[in-house]
Amino acid sequence: MDEVASLMAPWGWSRHIARIFAYLLLRETPATLDEISEHLAISKSIVSVATRELEQYGNARRQSQPGTKQILYSAPDKRYGPFPDQAAMMGTIASLMVRQPTESTVVKGRLTKVAAFLTAMREAIDDVYERPEFRD
């Protein structure tokens, strides 16, 4: 689990969020905040904030437990990781690069190439998420 979590750090995820995401991916059944907190040795308040953030970006599913006020969290069924947000950010950066004022043709050429690369990466990620098996 820690290996999976460490691989998420370059994508901008905190260690706690990455560990909880990995934990949910590796579980067969949904988990309560108490279970997550206990198994990962993370305070319940940190778990609560992290699971809400995961849920907000579609990286965790929140479920009610019938007959109780307890909330369960599980991994999403189809979309995983920070990739849609990263793809959007790549598109924004690409747009900024092509709009940068510069009189240098060398700099303009470099910015254009980086923008083209970021745009291609964004489109590739978007294309994967449009495949039927990954749609919600």
- Looking at residue 97, the DSSP 8-state letter turns out to be H
pLDDT of residue 60: 92
Comparing CA positions, the residue from 40, 34, 38, 33 lying closest to residue 15 is: 40
Interior/surface letters 92-109, b for 16+ CB within 10 angstroms, e for the rest: eebeebeeeeeeeeeeee
| Digitized pLDDT (tens) for each residue of the chain, 136 residues in all | 778 778 877 777 889 999 999 999 899 999 999 999 999 999 999 999 999 999 988 889 999 888 888 899 999 876 666 677 788 889 999 999 999 999 999 999 999 999 999 999 999 988 988 888 876 6
